């Protein structure tokens, strides 16, 4: 990542499309190499974790407002969003209680 004084003109940004990604992060103009999809296939261990993430994300969409508000207040002093904190708590609990993914949320 490179910090810039300002985002370049549209013609310059368009000229680097597919090579350099220009964006604003927390009010700071930045540039980085264009994001690309990894060329190697994911390992079976990585693929085995995908359902846990899917459940955590789906569960957030069904979380009651009062729980979301509590997670928002707990995450405010950290760099995590409330959704990230909820996902982290869920994923960590599945490490402690492996059978939690079987029936934790009936969606």
Q: 88 in a domain, yes or no?
A: yes
Considering the domain architecture, whether residues 50 and 19 belong to the same structural domain is answered as no
Q: Which pTM value belongs to this model? A: 0.52
Q: 91 in a domain, yes or no?
A: yes
Q: Looking up tokens 């950290």, which residue turns up?
A: 78
pLDDT computed for residue 103 by the predictor: 47
Considering the domain architecture, whether residues 20 and 55 belong to the same structural domain is answered as no
Three-state DSSP class for residue 14: helix
Considering the domain architecture, whether residues 29 and 56 belong to the same structural domain is answered as no
- Who contacts 73 (Cβ-Cβ below 8 Å, separation ≥6)? none
| Cα 20 to the center of its chain, rounded Å | 21
Q: 79 in a domain, yes or no?
A: yes
Considering the domain architecture, whether residues 52 and 27 belong to the same structural domain is answered as no
Give mean pLDDT in consecutive 10-residue pieces for the chain, a chain of 107 residues: 84 83 88 82 88 88 90 88 88 62 46
Residues 71-89: pLDDT tens digits? Answer: 899 888 888 899 998 888 8
| Containing structural domain, residue 12 | 2-33
Q: 66 in a domain, yes or no?
A: yes
Q: 96 in a domain, yes or no?
A: yes
Considering the domain architecture, whether residues 17 and 63 belong to the same structural domain is answered as no
How far apart CA 13 and CA 22 sit, in angstroms, is 7
Burial level of 90, CB count in 10 A (0-12/13-18/19+)?
Answer: buried
What's the total number of domains in the chain? 2
Q: 39 in a domain, yes or no?
A: no
Considering the domain architecture, whether residues 67 and 99 belong to the same structural domain is answered as yes
Considering the domain architecture, whether residues 86 and 60 belong to the same structural domain is answered as yes
């Amino acid at each position: 990542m490179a910090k810039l004084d300002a985002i370049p003109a549209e013609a310059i940004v368009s000229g680097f499309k597919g090579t350099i990604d220009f964006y604003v992060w927390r009010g700071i103009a930045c540039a980085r190499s264009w994001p690309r999809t990894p060329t190697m296939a994911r390992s079976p261990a990585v693929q085995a974790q995908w359902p846990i993430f899917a459940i955590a994300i789906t569960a957030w969409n069904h979380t009651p407002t009062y729980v979301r508000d509590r997670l928002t207040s707990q995450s405010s002093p950290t760099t995590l969003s409330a959704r990230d904190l909820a996902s982290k708590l869920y994923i960590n609990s599945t490490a402690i209680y492996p059978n939690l993914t079987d029936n934790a949320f009936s969606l």
